[in-house]
Structure 1
């Protein structure tokens, strides 16, 4: 059965969903997106994703085309129609499709935004084998623009980073600017020393991760110390543990950076405990 997607108010088989060649998401990367995880047919951290979506749109001078309740209805309907047990719902909003290509923003009164949502089924994502073994990362120079706090679809360099990591026989890349780690290609980065979790503070330099916010809240509730500051690759290599967080990987241990083992070279207890807490609490709060 064909996957059902949402496009501008309609539910359609994916092969019937079409977007104009003049859409600014396609021509200019003039679009924002969110990915909400689905666990046991329920949405996790939905409110956080909607709040960040609203912020991203505001930063780019775009309106929110659907209300919170309308977005929730579409998410739930797609999960139901596509029988998604575990996976995610991808949402993208563009500035729309004017009649021709132009650097100047189109008039929102005459050019409606494009709204797309689709599901991705990933059975058993909460039990990913990688969480047991950990992942390996390389470091690369951060060459992105300086509004990384806006979740836009400008993902070419992160994609290149993933490919650099793959070519090196690793799983991901941590980006470095001015000698300090900013974040992973699609995730926030952390190190652990003792009971202290260290991760870069919020700014325009990194994405304000929804999973990041939840994990740090749970860490503090569990009496773990959190320090929000930048750290170097050398400091990360000397740390007891390292891990990443994202909506699709939750809490994922990092066991090697640029060929250097982190700690024992196996997932550490802090990352394992945070993953356990996050999944447990997310399931309780899922809607």
Structure 2
């Protein structure tokens, strides 16, 4: 079966999908995006993702080409047409195609809307979580507004590649004061020596993850103490556990950082416990 994508009002074969070479995403990375998990054929935390899409658009003064209701219909149609039971849907909006100029195109230029869906391997993801992942640290060289989910991800790409070449799964980014901000494509967490969950506050230094927000809710329901503050690498090395969170990873235990074991060097009970109950708390949109 051919994969089906959505491009500006049309459902077409993924292999045939395309946009103009004048599109602002191609020329300036002038666009925003969201990735939503599909679990059991249902969209997870869809409302939060679409709310963040609207916020990103507002921060960039970008007009969304479709309302929330229409976007929900498009996403469901993609899940159905691609027969995705477990996987993800990707949604991207750009400022559209116009003559190359740094300033915004003239008013009325249609925005570009692209979306697609792909299947995931739930068993492989669970196996990775049971084994845990390795991360490395590196300086955070991104622009000062990573809280906006833009398509301008070159520093993140470089960080991910450096992690891959080091035999790690993720890179934790370190700010100029020596604090961990977040991962290249995830939020960063530790469980400190007292058993509290510590994660960077959702300010302009990090992307406010939808999965992160759900984990805060789950932790509260489970009676786990959470401290939203920045933490250092030394604190991470001394932690009982560490993990990352995101729509594509959910809760993924970290067992090593820069070649040093975290805790026992095996996935911890807090991370695995949060992962095990995540879908009991995360609302699914059929």
TM-score (norm 2): 0.97
* TM-aligned CA distance change 1:206 to 1:125, over 3 Å: farther
Cα distance in 2, alignment partners of residues 66 and 186 from structure 1: 26
Partner of 1:119: 117
Superposition deviation, residue 238 in structure 1: 0.6
Cα deviation, residue 130, structure 1: 1.0
Residues 93-115 of structure 1: CA distance to partner in whole angstroms, max 9, x if unpaired? 000001x2110100231x10000
1:44-100, Cα deviation, whole Å (9 max, x unpaired): 0000000000000000001122111111111110000010111000000000001x2
Q: Residue 127 of structure 1: CA displacement?
A: 4.7
The alpha-carbon distance between structure 1 residues 199 and 126, as it changes in their structure 2 partners (threshold 3 A), is farther
Partner of 1:37 in structure 2? Answer: 37
Once the two structures are superposed, the pairs formed by residues 88-237 of structure 1 within 5 Å of their partners are: 88-98=88-98, 100-109=99-108, 111-124=109-122, 127-177=125-175, 178-193=177-192, 194-237=194-237
- Find the counterpart in structure 2 of residue 285 from structure 1: 284
* Alpha-carbon contact 2:195-2:240 (below 8 Å) kept: no
1:272 aligned residue = 272
Report how many aligned residue pairs link the two structures. 284
Structure 2 residue runs of 5 or longer lacking an equivalent are none
Could you list the per-position Cα deviations for residues 133-177 of structure 1 after superposition, in whole angstroms to 9, with x for gaps in the alignment? 110000000000000000000111111111111111111110000
- What is the CA–CA distance in structure 1 between the aligned matches of 2:121 and 2:223, rounded to whole Å? 33
Q: Distance in 1 between matches of 2:10 and 2:78?
A: 11
What do you get for the CA RMSD once the two structures are aligned?
1.2
For residues 201 and 180 of structure 2, the distance between their equivalents in structure 1, rounded to whole angstroms, comes to: 11
C-alpha distance in 2 between matches for 1:55 and 1:151: 9
Which segments of 5 or more consecutive residues in structure 1 lack a partner in the other structure? none
Instruction: Return the TM-score normalized by structure 1.
Output: 0.96
Task: Give me the whole-angstrom Cα distance separating, in 2, the residues matched to 1:22 and 1:124.
Answer: 38
Distance of 2:64 and 2:103 partners within structure 1: 20
